[in-house]
Each structure stands twice: as C-alpha cells, then as structure tokens.
Amino acid sequence: MSDLLAISPEVADALSRGKPIVALETSIVGQGLPHPYNLRAARESEAAIREEGAVPATVAVMDGRVHVGLTDADLQRIAAGAIKVSSRDLGWATGRGAIGATTVAATMRAAAMAGVRFFATGGIGGVHRGRPEDQSADLVELSRTPVAVFCAGAKIILDLPLTLERLESFGVPVLGYGTDEFPAFYSKHSGCPVSARVDKPIDVARVLQASWATGTRGVVIAVPPPAELEGAEELVQRAVRELADVSGPDLTPRLLARVAELSNGKSLDLNVDLVVNNARVAARVASAFSELRKGSS
C-alpha cells in the first residue's frame, strides 16, 4: 500500500473484517454546494450509510496524503477552503501538501487504491453541451477503475446522449436502479435508455460480481432522484446561454450555482436529497455484495 494513502482506523477495520464500505467525494463540500448545504450533504450521506450497516469512507487530500475516511473536523477543513482535485491532480496535490476536495474521478482512484469498490455521489461528469471535446475525466476513470458509482445519472447541464455514447464506447455499463431510463440529475427522465435495469440490491450485487469477474472496470448505477425540480431543463438552458463564455473546471460549479439562483434555492435542497439517497442505495448494495461474497466463500 502506498505511503501516500492514509486510511482511517474505522475504514481499515472494516476492510480487514470484510464489512461493506461506501466511498464519498468531497468536491461537493469544497466546490459543489454552498454553505450550509455542502456539510449537510456530507454529514447526512455518512449517516445514511451507517444506518444501512455500512461504513462511510469520505475521501480528500490533506497534509501530503490521500485520506480515505475523514473526521468531521476534516470535513470542516475542506469546507473552509480546498482546491478541486481530479485524478490527474492527485500527485502534485499530495506532493505540495495541498488541501484538496476530490472529484468523482479522484475519489474512484483513491477508493480503488484502498480496496473500496462502492462509491456514491450526486451526478457524474460527462460531455458538455455544444462542446463535445470538453469531456470529464470521470468518464475515462470509469473505463479504468473497478468501482461501482451510484449517482442520479449525469448532471443535467451536460449533453446526456453524448455522455452515454462515450460510456458505451469505453465499455462502461450503465445500470438503471428501478428504471429503464437514465436519470437527468434533477429529473427522473432524460429520454435516454440505460444498458440494463436492476430492481433490488441483490440484483445489483450479482451483476457487479459477474461484471468484475469478466473484466469490466467501472460500472454506473443510475438512481432516480427522490423528487424532481420543476422546469429543470428550461433553467439549465438559460444558465448555459448566460455562461456561454465560461469553460474549464469552473464551468460545472458555475452552471449549478446559476441553476440554484434561478430556482430560488430549490435545486440545492434536491441536490442534498439525491446525494443522500444515492449513498443509502450504495450502502444497501454494498451490504448485499458483502453477503454474496460470504455465501460463495
């Protein structure tokens, strides 16, 4: 195990005992949501995972190491000010001793380094609308790293059909949890079909076991949001038009912030709710997977 990896005692104990573990990102704390929604999302996600009998493993870069499993004080450090760290940034962020909030891609990488197979987030990144060359590192990481990512689809600000096409090209399965349709973050409907539908935690566990045994790396489990944001598509289109000159890593947080303004904050509450819901589903599947492995050993 790398000296750059710091695994909390709770997560280390869970790994040694074969207990279910669910990783969580911190970009939502550092950049994705404003205070107090950011800490609320992090704390409630960890609580939901524990309620389902699993162990949360929140990931961040601090003090020259990649931490898997944080304290509440660590979360507050991230919320107080952290750089955004993708998988490409893990080396220099740790080398420089930066305080870094990990994206989906970086969290996947760190989880795999620690031996954690399950990860819950809000929505994955993808291909930006009107900019097919602007593709999130999340998609590439999914093609390389054997981690199951539970999300409410991809962020609605993205080009969802093209994002799914890229995932198909990369050989990444997209499983719809209780749905035949890929969720659109703030909406249960996108008009885009998933690779396959799975309805119960044990069904997901069996598909994941078979997928990893046959060489599949990352797997997306798309969980419909618990509620919908009325007029979400219209709000997103307006935000995209208003921020047409913005590009790079600032684009997604700027777009989401503008949608929050246009929705009078309703998108923020829904964002927290869907993240917590994804964490809960991930914990249930992780627990089912743990039992499945015990039964086959």
155 catalytic per annotation:
yes
Q: What is the mean pLDDT of the chain?
A: 94
Task: Report the C-alpha gap between 106 and 137 in whole angstroms.
Answer: 9
Task: Report the C-alpha gap between 170 and 296 in whole angstroms.
Answer: 30
Mean pLDDT is highest, among 33-47, 229-243, 282-296, for: 33-47
Catalytic residue among 155, 181, 188, 266: 155
pLDDT higher than 60, residue 1:
no
Task: Report the C-alpha gap between 135 and 128 in whole angstroms.
Answer: 7
pLDDT computed for residue 151 by the predictor = 98
213 C-beta neighbours (distance < 10 Å), count: 8
Task: Report the C-alpha gap between 285 and 249 in whole angstroms.
Answer: 31
∠297-59-178 over CA atoms, to 5°? Answer: 60
Q: Are 212 and 146 in contact (CB under 8 A)?
A: yes
The tens digit of pLDDT for each residue in 238-270 reads 887 888 777 766 777 787 788 888 888 898 999
The tens digit of pLDDT for each residue in 100-110 reads 999 999 999 99
pLDDT computed for residue 259 by the predictor = 85
Task: Report the C-alpha gap between 238 and 255 in whole angstroms.
Answer: 10
**What is 214-250 written as a DSSP string?**
TT---EEEE---SS--TTHHHHHHHHHHHTTT--GGG
Coil/strand/helix, residue 137: helix
- Residue 108's closest CA among 97, 96, 100, 120? 120
Q: Are 173 and 216 in contact (CB under 8 A)?
A: yes
pLDDT higher than 60, residue 62:
yes
pLDDT confidence band for 130 (50 / 70 / 90): confident
The tens digit of pLDDT for each residue in 160-182 reads 999 999 999 999 999 999 999 99
pLDDT confidence band for 297 (50 / 70 / 90): low
The tens digit of pLDDT for each residue in 207-243 reads 999 999 999 999 999 999 999 888 888 887 888 788 8
100 C-beta neighbours (distance < 10 Å), count: 28
Q: Which carries the bigger pLDDT value, residue 148 or residue 251?
A: 148
Q: CA-based diameter of the chain, in Å? A: 56
pLDDT higher than 80, residue 16:
yes
Dihedral over alpha carbons 136, 137, 143, 145 (to 10 degrees): -140
Domain ranges of the chain: 5-296
Q: Does domain 5-296 have CATH number 3.30.420.40?
A: no
Question: Which amino acid belongs to residue 103?
Answer: T
Could you give the percent of the chain with pLDDT greater than 70?
A: 98
Which tokens in the block code for residue 158? Answer: 């993205």
Q: Model pTM?
A: 0.94
pLDDT computed for residue 263 by the predictor = 87
pLDDT higher than 80, residue 121:
yes
Q: Which carries the bigger pLDDT value, residue 133 or residue 272?
A: 272
Pairing mode of beta strands 148-151, 174-177: unpaired
